[in-house]
């Protein structure tokens, strides 16, 4: 780990000012990803500005929805009564991630900003356009079992590792950030993360120095029928091969509204808009779920070692919808 200065910001304004004026400075939240990357010299910083004591931990009702502090811990957020009762999908997704210890440390803002777990990104001896732009992508022709089947580019085939972000995509969350100019900017979840394109080094659309302050969830009618399914190599404490956030609003057995988002398949958590479109107004049956899932996976472009994700993704979508429906 290269040396850095440690400081603690007293206010959000002070934190933004410190990071915006020092190009190599970084915000330090829970540290579960950043410190790990710094130990491996994948990341470095001149300054770590500890923001964990800022008053951005509140979780409160707002305009029928819920506002979640960016520095509330993952465990406190997942277990908050407002989240458990109104957005159980988010609770499940957050509890599917990492371990109890890491959830106690990790803050919500940092969860959104965590880096890919692509082995080539972590191994500084190997090429990676995300870590060292211009060096090439080791995974595209290398070991790519864990990698993207949607939206990859020549430069990068990495996937976003967050479970929380998949649920937030399904729930149409909005990310509220403080800019170095002192104003607030609101980024819809769909626009927060980006596809790799020619700039895989950029995971998201935050500008330098911007600080996530809150995540806001709109009112939801999905609490009664939702499920987060995570498929992984072991039962617990592993990153997703494929994950699905499924939520339905039912009228009898007719689907009035539906949300489907997938994790582990692309550089950003993505909504399955094709499948959603195919399900609205239909009966909540396994046949309809399967047809919708098949329609969504048609656009998949698997690599040498991850073609299994196409079939797995399809089945996971059906399974998640069945669980959300209470069928299984």
Partner 1 sequence: MPNLGHESRITKKPSGIQPTPRTTMHEPRTPDPEADTPLSDDENALLDEMIRSGLPRRDFLKLMFGASAGIFAYQLATEKQIFAATSALAQGAAAPALAEGAGVAVQLTVNGASKTLKLDPRVVLLDALRDKLALTGTKKGCDHGQCGACTVIVDGKRVLSCLTLAAQVGGKTVTTVEGLATQEELHSMQEAFIEHDGFQCGYCTPGQLCSAVALLDEAKRGECSYVTADVKSPPMQLSDDEIRERMSGNICRCAAYPQILAAIQSVHSGRKATQTWGFATEEKLAEIRKEFTHDTTHDTV
* List of residues contacting partner 1 (CB under 8 A): 1-6, 8, 28, 31-32, 35-36, 39-41, 48, 50, 52, 73, 75, 78-79, 84-85, 88, 91-92, 95-96, 98-102, 104-105, 117-120, 122-123, 125-127, 129, 133-138, 140-143, 154-155, 198, 223, 230, 235-237
Strand 184-188 versus strand 47-50 pairing type: unpaired
Strand 5-8 versus strand 47-50 pairing type: parallel
Nearer to partner 1, 133 or 180 (CB): 133
> What is the closest distance, in whole angstroms, from the C-beta atom of residue 113 to partner 1 in the complex?
15
> What is the closest distance, in whole angstroms, from the C-beta atom of residue 58 to partner 1 in the complex?
18
- Whether 197 and 152 have beta carbons less than 8 Å apart is answered as no
Nearer to partner 1, 155 or 296 (CB): 155
> What is the closest distance, in whole angstroms, from the C-beta atom of residue 48 to partner 1 in the complex?
7
Nearer to partner 1, 102 or 295 (CB): 102
> What is the closest distance, in whole angstroms, from the C-beta atom of residue 179 to partner 1 in the complex?
26
Copy the structure tokens of residue 228: 């987060």
Nearer to partner 1, 27 or 192 (CB): 27
* Placement of tokens 């170095």 in the chain: 180
User: Cα torsion at 17, 213, 168, 303 (round to 10°)?
Assistant: 10
Q: 227 forms bridges with which residues in the sheet?
A: 246
Nearer to partner 1, 49 or 292 (CB): 49
Query: What ranges in the chain are assigned the alpha helix state H?
Result: 12-21, 34-39, 74-78, 81-86, 88-95, 100-105, 108-113, 119-122, 138-141, 164-170, 189-192, 273-279, 286-297, 308-325
> What is the closest distance, in whole angstroms, from the C-beta atom of residue 50 to partner 1 in the complex?
6
């Amino acid at each position: 780990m290269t040396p850095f200065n440690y400081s603690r910001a007293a206010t959000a304004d002070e934190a933004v000012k410190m990071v915006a004026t020092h190009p190599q400075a970084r915000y330090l939240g829970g540290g579960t990803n950043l410190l790990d990357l710094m130990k491996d010299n994948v990341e470095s910083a001149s300054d770590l500005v500890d923001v964990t004591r800022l008053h951005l931990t509140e979780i409160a009702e707002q305009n029928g929805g819920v506002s979640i502090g960016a520095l509330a811990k993952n465990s406190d957020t997942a277990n908050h009564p407002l989240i458990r009762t109104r957005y159980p999908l988010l609770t499940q997704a957050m509890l599917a991630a990492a371990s109890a210890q890491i959830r106690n440390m990790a803050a919500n803002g940092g969860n959104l900003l965590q880096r890919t777990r692509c082995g080539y990104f972590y191994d500084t001896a190997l090429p990676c356009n995300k870590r060292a732009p211009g060096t090439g992508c080791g995974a595209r022709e290398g070991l790519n079992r864990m990698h993207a089947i949607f939206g990859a580019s020549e430069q990068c085939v990495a996937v976003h590792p967050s479970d929380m972000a998949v649920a937030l995509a399904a729930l149409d969350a909005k990310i509220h950030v403080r800019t170095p100019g002192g104003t607030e900017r609101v980024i819809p979840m769909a626009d927060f993360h980006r596809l790799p394109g020619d700039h895989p080094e950029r995971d998201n659309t935050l500008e330098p120095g911007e600080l996530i302050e809150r995540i806001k969830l709109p009112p939801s009618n999905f609490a009664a029928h939702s499920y987060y399914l995570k498929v992984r190599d072991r039962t617990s404490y592993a990153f997703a091969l494929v994950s699905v956030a499924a939520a339905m609003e039912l009228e009898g057995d007719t689907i009035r509204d539906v949300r489907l988002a997938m994790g582990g398949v692309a550089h950003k958590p993505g909504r399955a808009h094709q499948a959603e479109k195919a399900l609205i107004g239909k009966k909540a049956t396994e046949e309809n779920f399967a047809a919708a899932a098949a329609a969504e996976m048609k656009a998949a472009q698997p690599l040498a070692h991850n073609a299994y994700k196409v079939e797995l993704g399809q089945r996971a979508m059906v399974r998640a919808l069945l669980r959300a429906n209470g069928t299984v």
